[in-house]
Chain A
Amino acid sequence: MAFVNLQNVTYKYPLTKAPVLQNVNLQVDEGEFVSIVGPNGAGKSTLCYALAGFVPHFFKGEISGSIEVDGKESSKSTLDEWVLNVGLAFQNPFNQISGAKYTVFEEIAFGLENIGVPREEMKSRVEDAMALTGIRDLADRSPYSLSGGQQQRVALTSILVMRPKLLVLDEPTSQMDPIGTREVFGTIRKMAEEGMTVVLVEHKMEWIAKFADRVIALKDGSVLLEGKPNEVLTSDLLVENGFGISRYTSTAREAKKQGIWKKESLPVTLDEAAEGFTK
């Protein structure tokens, strides 16, 4: 059985008329790195909330179908138990700062204090997590004095330190520069290799193509397409459904129409494009 298993999940917020998620089926294996793409309003964040237990435990609303992680059923669990297994970081880093702590080190330790980790273990776990995401030098800064990208790293570290089995990330690099994005993707990849299951919402197609195992394209609350990154991210269906695609893909698409792009498959990354065009 898959580690993450969503069966026919349909969900409506208390205030929305139509369902935001419609018959979503999704299976993710343990240690797999899955990325979700989709246009604005497709329901990506809502899906993240559903995986992390906030739908329906926090947002209420009507839900049907089943959400299972690690053999446990979300509707039969409580939120405070659920978050021990599933970690969630989302886009706006400012609102993820607890506000209860004065330094980055304390901020990252906040989650461990809450779940009662002993002091010595807490310190070494915080150190390890900061080393992993490359923010050791920020340890004594106030979380509020950081740049958006740095705050996003702190938010990610604050979740990683809790060592969830499933890591759900909703646009965690939106305020980072290319170098920061690459580093964070590298870290996430490493976590997956070590057995953490990752579901990541992203708009940066090239990075997804480089790092993710599988891509799921979400549109109007349903899964439109899923498969290997390059197959999904270069599919004509994406363009027809108003998804953003990588600039290398769209360039090569045009080039293919004019007979300049000779290969059968389209590129997502710069390297693939360069290779295809020079052949």
Chain B
Amino acid sequence: MHERLSFHIKRDSFIHNLNPLTKLVLTLTLILIAFTFPWYWTPHLLVLVAIIPLSLLGKVFREFSVTALRLILPAAGFLFLMQAFFQPVGSDVIFKFYFLDVTQESLMFAFRNAMRVFVMVSAFTLFLVTTHPSELMSDLTRRGLPGQFSYVIISTLQILPQIIAKSQTIIAAQRSRGLDTESSFFKRAGSLIPLVGPLVFGSLMEVEERAIAIEARGFTSKQTKTSLHEIPDPSFDQMLRWVLVALIILSIALNLWLS
């Protein structure tokens, strides 16, 4: 059976114990400041004073660095190259690569954008790694997010790996009946059509049964829902959130004022 789709790493750390909403706000703050604060070196500095310390504080530095080096950095690097070469700004050409001019401005521009993306993806990664999805959803539901909404999010995360497993079963079954899965791309794409029927139709039947099952367990009850886990929201968290919101507003205001 496949693992469920979740990035959460269970640890006992200061970050893990923050209220999920606080972490969500913190994530958004980092991203918005990286993108709006009107000082060139903002995203670079954020990596040093926020992203790395937070990963240490959350006791996930090792896992985070692996992800950062393997996935986030290459993606940001690619973005950097694309923008450095194809961004037609500036006149101060540093070097020529065939017909492509690389200017001082385009380099600077690309560097900042790559760092912004790095901050954004890193912040989200840290958020996902330190927050249990069902805690996040219980907390948001308690704050008034419709129960159906959080159900859709969580069940998609859970059921997706099951659907992938099932499609593999169907592929194996069809292959044993002669389905071509190894020749050219277009041939394969065409021969996958028989897979769609069982997968979609099977899923529809399942959706109906699952709807009955959760309905039988009072899912559409008009009662105010309660929650098994208590998710603490101490005054420290509430204060921290206000400070973060203030920082966001400040950053955006400065951005508008200076432009």
Check B155 for interface membership: any CB of A closer than 8 A.
yes
> Which of chain A's residues 79-130 have a Cβ closer than 8 Å to chain B?
79-80, 83-84, 87-90, 92, 94-102, 105-106, 109-119, 122-123
Which of the residues B158, B209, B227 comes within 8 Å of A113, measured between beta carbons? Answer: B227
Residue B233 lies at the interface, judged by CB distance under 8 Å to chain A: no
* Known contacts A100-B151, A119-B227, A123-B228, A114 near B217 by CB under 8 Å: yes
Cβ B226 vs Cβ A118 within 8 A: yes
Inter-chain contact B213/A83, CB cutoff 8 Å:
no
What B residues does A54 contact at CB under 8 A? 212, 215-216
Instruction: Give min CB distance, A17 to chain B, whole Å.
Output: 21
B218 contacts A162, C-beta separation under 8 Å: yes
Q: B220 near A: Cβ within 8 Å?
A: yes
Known: A80-B221, A109-B228. Contact between A87 and B159, CB under 8 A? no
Q: Give Cα A84 to B215, complex, Å.
A: 10
Docked-complex contact A142 and B228, CB < 8 angstroms: no
Q: Are B227 and A96 in contact (CB under 8 A)?
A: no
B217 and A111 contact, CB distance less than 8 A: yes
Contacts of A98 in B (CB 8 A): 151, 155, 210, 213-214, 217
Q: Is there an interface contact between B209 and A92, defined as CB atoms closer than 8 Å?
A: yes
Question: Interface size on B (CB < 8 Å)?
Answer: 37
A80 to B218, CA, bound (A): 6
A144 within 8 Å of B by Cβ? yes
Report the interface size class on chain A: 35 or more
Q: Once the chains bind, are B220 and A79 in contact (CB under 8 Å)?
A: yes
Choice from B209, B212, B223 contacting A114 with Cβ under 8 Å: B223
Knowing A58-B212, A116-B225, A119-B228, the reply to whether A83 touches B217 (Cβ < 8 A) is yes
Measured CB to CB, the nearest residue on chain A to B157 is A99
Q: Per-residue CB proximity of B217-238 to A under 8 Å, as 1/0?
A: 1111111111111100000000
The answer to whether A110 and B221 touch across the interface, beta carbons within 8 angstroms, is: no
What's the Cα separation between A115 and B151 when bound, in Å?
Answer: 15
- Give the chain A neighbours of B42 by CB distance below 8 A: none
A112 to B134, CA, bound (A): 16
Q: What is the chain B residue whose CB lies nearest that of A105?
A: B228
A102 to B189, alpha carbons, bound, how many Å? Answer: 35
Contact of B221 with A114 in the complex, beta carbons under 8 Å = yes
Interface of A, secondary structure class, is helix
B154 at the A interface (CB under 8 A): yes
Chain B residues positioned under 8 Å from A100 (CB to CB): 134, 150-151, 154-155, 158, 214
Asked whether A95 lies within 8 Å of B213 as measured between CB atoms, the reply is yes
Q: How long is the Cα–Cα vector from A87 to B230 in the complex, in angstroms?
A: 27
Does A52 interact with chain B (Cβ within 8 Å)? yes
CB <8 Å contact, A144 and B215: no
Give complex CA distance A187, B181 in Å. 49
A126-161 vs B: 1/0 string, CB under 8 Å? 000000000000000010110000000001001100
For residue B1, CB closer than 8 A to chain A, the reply is yes
Asked whether any CB of chain A lies closer than 8 Å to the CB of B63, the reply is no
Distance A88 CA – B209 CA, assembled complex (angstroms): 12
* Contact yes or no, A106 B134, CB < 8 A: yes
* Cβ–Cβ contact A96 & B209, under 8 A: yes
Question: Contact: B213 with A116, CB < 8 Å?
Answer: no
Pairwise interchain contact B158-A144, C-beta atoms closer than 8 A: yes
Cβ-neighbour of B162 out of A84, A87, A89, A144 (below 8 A): A144
Known: A145-B1, A162-B217. A117 touches B226 (CB 8 A): yes
Please state if B159 and A99 are interface contacts (CB–CB under 8 Å): yes
* Given known A-B contacts A95-B206, A99-B159, A79 and B217 have beta carbons under 8 A apart: no
CB neighbours (8 Å) of A158 from chain B are 217
B228/A99 in contact, CB under 8 A: no
In the assembled complex, B175 has its CB within 8 A of some CB on chain A? no
Q: Which residues of A contact B134 (CB under 8 A)?
A: 100-102, 106
Task: Give chain A residues whose Cβ lies under 8 Å from the Cβ of B1.
Answer: 144-145
Q: Are B228 and A106 in contact (CB under 8 A)?
A: yes
B11 located at the interface, meaning its Cβ lies under 8 Å from any Cβ of chain A in the complex: no
Interface hits, A148-200 → B, CB 8 Å: 155, 158-159, 162
Across the interface, which residues of B come within 8 angstroms of A101, CB to CB?
A: 134, 154
Instruction: Report B115-147 residues with CB < 8 Å from chain A CB.
Output: 132-134, 147
B2 to chain A, nearest CB (A): 8
Top 7 closest A-B pairs, CB basis? Answer: A111-B217, A99-B155, A116-B223, A114-B218, A95-B209, A96-B213, A115-B218
Could you pull out 25 A-B pairs where Cβ atoms are within 8 angstroms?
A79-B215, A79-B220, A80-B218, A80-B222, A88-B216, A94-B206, A95-B209, A95-B210, A98-B151, A98-B213, A98-B214, A98-B217, A99-B151, A99-B158, A100-B214, A101-B154, A102-B4, A105-B228, A110-B214, A112-B228, A116-B224, A119-B226, A119-B228, A122-B228, A159-B217
